[in-house]
Chain A
């Protein structure tokens, strides 16, 4: 006698493995579809967020009348963004770049978890290729070059080199000497966003994509500048001592597991000494290294002078009388010198800074100094972190146990 069709077969699991395979596949496909949609949408919304800095409540959204004066430029998309001018775009680009902190102490597992490479000397910029043009913008948002390139959709060639609407964003340093964009990181490629991928993955793709596209080839009519990926994984001694086609400006350390994150991050670090950089100590507006270390801080409404960190570190406070007298406004960047009192720390935290007001910064300035930069500069003048210190850390096996007595 046979069991009723709808009863589970005797001593059998409720779901067959084949059914499970089908379901898992459908799940994966639905997820990938959702991801693909979100990717396209989110790429747009990093641009859109430009105009929506002010938090607005839900009810405002569909109000028919919006004040004309507040209306942002029409059809704002990545291509527009890459050609925009003014404070908006500067702010936008300033917010998108990943900014390494200065190395003020050595991270654990340096040899295991970190890439180290020689930073090319030059202008840090975002290169955006889309719709047949390539535009590079410096950290403050100003356009460096606008040119054809072999990046996907980077030139108006007869054959499209990627989906028409796709674009690529590379994090580069333009090196004057050999007129080359040295690519240190990849944010988007051919419409795909790599923000959310760990560094080792991004670097791997970066190398293969760059090769594939021909962008690493010599300049030509459709490809004005060469793009060259820096070598990310040679290790500390090589990065420090090996010859590079470019002039070095310090070393960059990238955590292998870190996603691309806009703004200051402790998961990317910069370190310099005189052997690997001409610019260890910061220069003033005349290009000279001043006797006293100078810092740039942002003035807040309440008179506090803060760094660009999030959350900011308060270095000092100006009283309102003084502010008025100098004609300063909240949001201004001011330059100060560190007096002989220097910086004093308690348990690793800044306790007191002996500062002297010098003046207001030029309008081209997009941000204040970060805490780590100030401290690194301070250390560089007094008790620097040396290459030997790094070497010791890099040679330490990860399993070494620190005896604390």
Chain B
């Protein structure tokens, strides 16, 4: 059967026809990949073929070049690069030819595939003529081809990293794109394609944004497009402005007056999609200024790379009224819709960011709006006033807000019970939560919650929990922060008298028939967790009594009836909530020896329940149950050994879970807990665990964030089993060494990369620490001597690099001591001869960080002993 028919059949509504076609395509691909790809490109380019088969041909081609998962993507890239050059060149010429097709779908699909190929080839310095040929065509072609070419350039900028394109080509691309955007371009499709292309090309424009003339030109064209009559063009232009706000904040000063006028007009008058982007522009400016000001306030005062231009402060008097107006444009029932996003929500969000940016200055601008509207008969006005109040509670100083809150609190409490409108009640409960979140806690000078009003607050919140689900959920949220404020209140909490009542009310909420609506059940359990976490010794027995209650809940959900997949998903969620709650309780009770013993009577049963939760999910393990088991192992100590035979397979499953890397990560942490609990009793399981961990480390499928904890975990194992770690040394050490070499230098990395590198270093160093300490006082310390020079070299190189964070510093100086402590005189000489050990030690000894200093002092002793031995 020819490929056209296969491609059409693959879109048939008849399942069996579709299946057969898909199988045939797959077979074709497996038998002869080059021929398969070539015939797809031929199909896409052929004007005689139906649009549907051409489009699918293009999509299959695209999927043959890229995938979401990193490892798969890597394979596909390698596969394409290995392909015969002649075939590739034929495919590419088909693709370029398709860009001039009169069929829009064919053009657009071809544009995407060209960009994918470019994404693979340009970094390899292949296909050098591509950009030139796209650019040379753009002037002389009919509009639809010009549009497709600009679209291709846009996708190309999205796919390819800026350093794979030389500045000369970047200049040419931007010239073509910006010309296409200008108001002189008569064809709206071309103009829209150009603006969308610019959106992707902004990352390439560093040099051009540093050139005043070029930047002026780009900004002028973007602002013009933002005033276009065509809605799609305005929207695309505002999206560019949002992106420019965060990418080129420091270059914006000359344009802010114009942008302010344009955005203000859009917020007030434009259609919602455009207005939302106009608000988002200001939200992004706030984000930037919050970051800059935070850095100003940080340790390196005034040393920020970017200067704050105080755009928000300057625009404040005009910006705030515009945002307040948006608050009155609520939609009916917006609180029932989880995914809702409208201009009132965006406006309130922006107002909150403005408050965080300017602090106290916003308060006098918002108070009149609140006072005027809060008692109006129209619910929209009351809701808007309340929302405005709630939005500005983070940012201004407690000194400024506390007097206002003291006046408002009673009003809010009464509105929560008496207001006839649920929107108002929803926002009121949320606002109370914000009050407790930001103005209540041990760090506040003037408490807003006093013995006089505490009872009333609790009563009102508990009563609200019987309201409609969205209001009840917000009331739970408010209680969450009420409890959190008493986190470090000391031995006696003002919530103690209400503890039982609160717990009971929350459990009742979880049993409401409508608890599945919104996030009500989740909110109730989360609040229960926080109430437990922040409870004091006074209520320890009540927390203990909660254990069998939650266990029973979990037990009941495990009683097997056949479930639909939808029900199974809900059940999985509920398991998560209950395991999460048990985890919090275990961690609470396990933290003190007095409470731990009471709890231990339940350990067997709880573990049994967790194992049943795992058994419910056939292929994977439950992250929440895994977290809870970690806490249980911590609480049980060596006793945990008896659960290992049954639990081990789930542990292994968790370590194999590459797709849900959070599960893998949590499981790695649990291995550490178990090692500390069991010590050398973990030995029988170590072969399996080590195999899995080493596999994880060498996999490129696993999310990179899991690797640092895996290294730390190697240290946990070594510390637990001591010299029995010997048999793993020959595998673990080379891996540590090569990871150490990779993480030694950070030249040219961005902040995020430096942060990751530091977490990697910390993991590697913790592994070294655990191994060295594990071997201490054994007869096999000499096995480690060959590795010592490399460890010292690693310490030298990260010291010289001068970019380690405090945690790495503490771990690193400890490793120096561990070397001396375990290897004695063998290490002494090496340390004396190392490049920077002395400087590093002296620097740590005079550190202001107590824990670094403490480690350093210990290291000093260990070295003294080693060199004098």
- Interface positions of A (Cβ within 8 A of B): 1-4, 7-8, 10-11, 13, 16-18, 21-22, 24-26, 28-29, 32-33, 36-37, 40-42, 44-45, 48-49, 51-52, 56, 58-62, 64, 66, 70-72, 74-79, 131, 162-165, 190-191, 197-198, 201
Given A40-B776, A61-B863, A162-B680, also A2-B339 (CB < 8 A) = yes
Tell me whether A61 and B864 are in contact (CB under 8 A).
yes
Given A1-B272, A21-B580, A32-B676, also A164-B723 (CB < 8 A) = yes
Q: In the complex, which residue of chain A has the Cβ closest to the Cβ of B528?
A: A17
In-complex Cβ contact of B841 among A21, A33, A58 (8 A): A58
Q: Which residues of A contact B837 (CB under 8 A)?
A: 62
Given A32-B673, A33-B676, A62-B838, also A75-B824 (CB < 8 A) = yes
Q: Which residues of A contact B481 (CB under 8 A)?
A: 13
Chain A CB count within 10 A is highest, among B276, B433, B474, B669, for: B669
Tell me whether A33 and B672 are in contact (CB under 8 A).
yes
30 A-B interface contacts by CB (under 8 A): A1-B342, A3-B345, A3-B346, A4-B280, A10-B341, A13-B480, A13-B481, A16-B526, A18-B624, A21-B529, A26-B669, A28-B587, A28-B634, A29-B630, A33-B676, A33-B716, A40-B773, A51-B864, A52-B864, A58-B841, A61-B838, A61-B860, A61-B867, A62-B841, A70-B868, A74-B869, A75-B869, A164-B777, A165-B777, A190-B679
Q: In the complex, which residue of chain A has the Cβ closest to the Cβ of B865?
A: A48
Q: Determine if B654 is an interface residue (Cβ-Cβ < 8 Å).
A: no
Q: Which residues of B contact A32 (CB under 8 A)?
A: 634, 672-673, 676
Q: Determine if B861 is an interface residue (Cβ-Cβ < 8 Å).
A: yes
Contact with A along B668-698 (1 / 0, CB 8 A): 0100110010011000000000000000000
Q: In the complex, which residue of chain B has the Cβ closest to the Cβ of A75?
A: B824
Q: Determine if B821 is an interface residue (Cβ-Cβ < 8 Å).
A: yes
B389 to chain A, nearest CB (A): 13
New A-B pairs, 6, CB < 8 Å, besides A3-B345, A3-B349, A21-B583: A3-B346, A13-B433, A24-B533, A48-B861, A79-B777, A163-B679
Q: Which residues of A contact B676 (CB under 8 A)?
A: 32-33, 36
Tell me whether A77 and B777 are in contact (CB under 8 A).
yes
Q: In the complex, which residue of chain A has the Cβ closest to the Cβ of B833?
A: A64
A26 to chain B, nearest CB (A): 7
In-complex Cβ contact of A25 among B631, B777, B838, B868 (8 A): B631
Tell me whether A13 and B669 are in contact (CB under 8 A).
no
Q: Which residues of B contact A162 (CB under 8 A)?
A: 680
Q: Which of B330-356 contact A (CB under 8 A)?
A: 339-342, 345-346, 349
Q: In the complex, which residue of chain A has the Cβ closest to the Cβ of B576?
A: A18
Q: Which residues of B contact A66 (CB under 8 A)?
A: 867-868
Q: Determine if B469 is an interface residue (Cβ-Cβ < 8 Å).
A: no
Given A41-B817, A62-B867, also A10-B583 (CB < 8 A) = no
In-complex Cβ contact of A201 among B474, B593, B672, B673 (8 A): B593
Q: Which residues of A contact B858 (CB under 8 A)?
A: 41-42, 45
Tell me whether A74 and B825 are in contact (CB under 8 A).
yes
Q: Which residues of B contact A25 (CB under 8 A)?
A: 583, 587, 627, 630-631, 666, 669
B838 to chain A, nearest CB (A): 5
Tell me whether B349 and A7 are in contact (CB under 8 A).
yes
Tell me whether B776 and A17 are in contact (CB under 8 A).
no
Q: Which residues of A contact B631 (CB under 8 A)?
A: 25, 28
Given A36-B676, A56-B864, also A1-B276 (CB < 8 A) = yes
- A-B pairs with the 7 shortest C-beta distances? A17-B526, A3-B341, A165-B777, A62-B838, A66-B868, A163-B680, A11-B430
Q: Determine if B309 is an interface residue (Cβ-Cβ < 8 Å).
A: no
In-complex Cβ contact of B832 among A44, A62, A75, A164 (8 A): A62
In-complex Cβ contact of A22 among B666, B722, B774, B868 (8 A): B666
A29 to chain B, nearest CB (A): 5
Majority SS at the chain A contact face = loop
Q: Which residues of B contact A70 (CB under 8 A)?
A: 868
Q: In the complex, which residue of chain B has the Cβ closest to the Cβ of A24?
A: B587
Q: Determine if B769 is an interface residue (Cβ-Cβ < 8 Å).
A: yes
Q: In the complex, which residue of chain A has the Cβ closest to the Cβ of B280?
A: A4
Q: Determine if B652 is an interface residue (Cβ-Cβ < 8 Å).
A: no
CA separation between A18 and B579, bound complex, in Å? 11
Given A2-B339, A22-B666, A25-B627, also A58-B860 (CB < 8 A) = yes
Q: Which residues of B contact A198 (CB under 8 A)?
A: 593
Majority SS at the chain B contact face = helix
In the complex, which range does the number of interface residues on chain B fall in?
Answer: 35 or more
Q: In the complex, which residue of chain B has the Cβ closest to the Cβ of A60?
A: B864
B551 to chain A, nearest CB (A): 18
Q: In the complex, which residue of chain B has the Cβ closest to the Cβ of A77?
A: B777
Chain A CB count within 10 A is highest, among B526, B576, B723, for: B526
CA separation between A52 and B723, bound complex, in Å? 28
Q: Which residues of A contact B37 (CB under 8 A)?
A: none
Q: Determine if B831 is an interface residue (Cβ-Cβ < 8 Å).
A: yes
Q: Determine if B53 is an interface residue (Cβ-Cβ < 8 Å).
A: no
Tell me whether B669 and A37 are in contact (CB under 8 A).
no
A8 to chain B, nearest CB (A): 7
Q: In the complex, which residue of chain A has the Cβ closest to the Cβ of B340?
A: A10
Q: Determine if B584 is an interface residue (Cβ-Cβ < 8 Å).
A: yes
Q: Determine if B719 is an interface residue (Cβ-Cβ < 8 Å).
A: yes
Tell me whether B860 and A51 are in contact (CB under 8 A).
no
Q: Determine if B58 is an interface residue (Cβ-Cβ < 8 Å).
A: no
Q: Which residues of B contact A37 (CB under 8 A)?
A: 719, 769-770, 773, 814
Tell me whether B861 and A36 are in contact (CB under 8 A).
no
In-complex Cβ contact of B719 among A10, A36, A164 (8 A): A36
Q: Which of B547-594 contact A (CB under 8 A)?
A: 576, 580, 583-584, 587, 593
Tell me whether A52 and B861 are in contact (CB under 8 A).
yes
Contact with A along B765-809 (1 / 0, CB 8 A): 010011001111110000000000000000000000000000000
CA separation between A51 and B437, bound complex, in Å? 53
A253 to chain B, nearest CB (A): 21
A376 to chain B, nearest CB (A): 33
CA separation between A191 and B587, bound complex, in Å? 24
CA separation between A15 and B138, bound complex, in Å? 49
Q: Determine if B410 is an interface residue (Cβ-Cβ < 8 Å).
A: no
Q: Which residues of A contact B862 (CB under 8 A)?
A: 41, 44-45, 48
Q: Which residues of B contact A33 (CB under 8 A)?
A: 672, 676, 712, 715-716, 766
Q: In the complex, which residue of chain A has the Cβ closest to the Cβ of B810?
A: A34
Tell me whether A62 and B831 are in contact (CB under 8 A).
yes
Q: Which residues of B contact A28 (CB under 8 A)?
A: 587, 631, 634
CA separation between A3 and B774, bound complex, in Å? 51
CA separation between A176 and B367, bound complex, in Å? 85
Q: Which residues of A contact B576 (CB under 8 A)?
A: 18
Q: Determine if B283 is an interface residue (Cβ-Cβ < 8 Å).
A: yes
Tell me whether A29 and B680 are in contact (CB under 8 A).
no
Q: Which residues of B contact A49 (CB under 8 A)?
A: 861
CA separation between A197 and B596, bound complex, in Å? 14
Q: Which of B814-869 contact A (CB under 8 A)?
A: 814, 817-818, 821, 824-825, 831-832, 837-838, 841-842, 845, 858, 860-865, 867-869
Q: Which residues of B contact A165 (CB under 8 A)?
A: 722-723, 774-778
Q: Determine if B530 is an interface residue (Cβ-Cβ < 8 Å).
A: yes
Q: Which residues of A contact B433 (CB under 8 A)?
A: 13
Q: Determine if B441 is an interface residue (Cβ-Cβ < 8 Å).
A: no
Q: Which residues of A contact B283 (CB under 8 A)?
A: 7
Q: Which residues of B contact A71 (CB under 8 A)?
A: 868-869
B394 to chain A, nearest CB (A): 9
Chain A CB count within 10 A is highest, among B593, B864, B867, for: B864
Q: Which residues of B contact A4 (CB under 8 A)?
A: 280
CA separation between A4 and B242, bound complex, in Å? 12
CA separation between A66 and B679, bound complex, in Å? 39
Q: In the complex, which residue of chain A has the Cβ closest to the Cβ of B807?
A: A30
CA separation between A204 and B825, bound complex, in Å? 40
Q: Which residues of B contact A79 (CB under 8 A)?
A: 777
Given A1-B276, A17-B580, also A10-B345 (CB < 8 A) = yes
Q: In the complex, which residue of chain A has the Cβ closest to the Cβ of B839?
A: A62
Q: Determine if B477 is an interface residue (Cβ-Cβ < 8 Å).
A: yes
CA separation between A24 and B669, bound complex, in Å? 12
Tell me whether B630 and A17 are in contact (CB under 8 A).
no
